[in-house]
């Protein structure tokens, strides 16, 4: 039997939401391939929002994909949430989730509720997120105005969350820096950003497609965000946090990962 052919791509139309969820989010348990990467991400997200220090009216989640778990962590602290993605497939998948036709976040949400030590059930917390999700819109971080949907056009957000998006959307460091600037313009002065991502990763695989990634390094990441007018409040490092990190397999070749909390400096346009 011949090996499955892997096709290299950078097209969002090649992305399959169900395959992505089953490949990367079916469990939060550590694995031989990824070590404790998923729990590292979820722990970092929970810690960022648990105190309530990051709060407001409007939250924008950029590059939600088919999994709104990042917004789930933030939901108790915001009144209105906008989910967004460049892929129409993901937008339609998220709409089915909001309508209650899909419930695919069981292990992830159960883990997050335990971390929060919440008295609410997973079902109640998920219902809260569904109710607070007012818009699911098209968003392209490589465009000067990433969100052009009429319902949210012109809103300056109190906070932005984003997970595993920029390093996928951008092909060069210059592109990455431009996208950071575009995102900054969507955020009010002193507004917060919570960013999750991988470092030195050239690809990730979904089904038969290998998607190209920008292999950004930690020092490059820090330099770009600071240069674009952000104060980095914390930058958690996967390799420094986990006792025995593991990385690099047929699905991805990442060398490190991070969870960053930053604030837009008040004197930044």
The confidence score (pLDDT) of residue 186 equals 95
> Average pLDDT in the 15-44 region?
81
The confidence score (pLDDT) of residue 34 equals 47
The confidence score (pLDDT) of residue 165 equals 96
CA dist., res. 94 & res. 65, Å (int): 8
The confidence score (pLDDT) of residue 252 equals 87
pLDDT digits (tens, 9 = 90+) for 90-100: 999 999 999 99
| All structural domains of the chain | 29-264 (3.40.50.150)
Assess whether pLDDT exceeds 70 at residue 4.
Answer: no
Q: In what order do the strands lie in the sheet with 7-9?
A: 7-9, 209-212, 203-206
C-alpha pair distances (Å), 192 with each of 79, 84, 140, 176, 231: 15, 18, 20, 19, 10
Res. 26 pLDDT band, cuts 50 70 90: confident
Non-local CB neighbours of 251 within 8 Å, separated by 6+ positions: 23, 24, 33, 204, 205
Closest among 139, 164, 147 to 20, alpha carbons compared: 164
How many beta carbons lie within 10 A of that of residue 72, not counting itself? 27
Give backbone dihedrals phi and psi of 136, rounded to 5 degrees, phi first: -130, 110
Contact 39, 30 (CB under 8 A): yes
How many beta carbons lie within 10 A of that of residue 145, not counting itself? 12
The confidence score (pLDDT) of residue 7 equals 65
The confidence score (pLDDT) of residue 246 equals 57
In this structure, what token pair is assigned to residue 73?
């962590």
How far does Cα 110 stand from its chain's mean position?
18
Instruction: State the pTM of this model.
Output: 0.92
The confidence score (pLDDT) of residue 36 equals 84
Assess whether pLDDT exceeds 50 at residue 31.
Answer: no
The confidence score (pLDDT) of residue 2 equals 36
The confidence score (pLDDT) of residue 15 equals 87
Res. 183 pLDDT band, cuts 50 70 90: very high
CA dist., res. 226 & res. 231, Å (int): 6
CA dist., res. 70 & res. 267, Å (int): 28
In this structure, what token pair is assigned to residue 52?
């309530």
In this structure, what token pair is assigned to residue 168?
């996928």
Assess whether pLDDT exceeds 80 at residue 44.
Answer: yes
- If residue 168 lies in a helix (H) or strand (E), which one and from where to where? helix 166-169
pLDDT digits (tens, 9 = 90+) for 125-164: 999 999 999 999 999 999 999 997 767 878 899 999 999 9
C-alpha pair distances (Å), 229 with each of 49, 181, 183, 261: 22, 8, 11, 13
The confidence score (pLDDT) of residue 247 equals 54
- Average per-residue pLDDT in the chain? 89
């Amino acid at each position: 039997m011949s090996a499955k052919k892997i096709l290299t791509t950078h097209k969002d139309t090649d992305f399959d939401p169900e395959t992505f969820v089953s490949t990367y989010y079916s469990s939060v348990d550590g694995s031989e391939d990824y070590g404790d990467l998923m729990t590292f991400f979820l722990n970092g997200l929970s810690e960022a929002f648990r105190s309530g220090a990051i709060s407001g009216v409007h939250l924008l989640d950029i590059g939600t994909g088919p999994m709104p778990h990042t917004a789930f962590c933030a939901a108790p602290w915001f009144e209105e949430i906008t989910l967004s993605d460049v892929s129409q497939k993901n937008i339609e998948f998220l709409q089915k989730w909001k309508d209650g036709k899909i419930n695919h976040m069981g292990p992830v949400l159960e883990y997050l509720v335990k971390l929060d030590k919440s008295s609410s059930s997973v079902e109640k917390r998920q219902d809260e997120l569904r109710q607070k999700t007012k818009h699911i819109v098209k968003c392209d971080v490589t465009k000067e105005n990433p969100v052009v949907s009429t319902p949210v056009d012109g809103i300056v957000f109190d906070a932005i969350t984003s997970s595993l998006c920029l390093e996928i959307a951008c092909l060069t460091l210059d592109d990455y820096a431009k996208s950071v600037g575009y995102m900054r313009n969507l955020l009010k002065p002193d507004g917060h950003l919570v960013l999750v991502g991988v470092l030195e990763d050239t690809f990730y695989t979904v089904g038969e497609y290998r998607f190209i990634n920008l292999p950004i390094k930690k020092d490059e990441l820090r330099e770009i965000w600071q240069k674009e007018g952000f104060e980095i409040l914390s930058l958690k490092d996967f390799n420094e946090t986990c006792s025995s990190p593991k990385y690099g397999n047929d699905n991805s070749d990442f060398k490190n990962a991070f969870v960053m909390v930053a604030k837009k400096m008040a004197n930044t346009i």
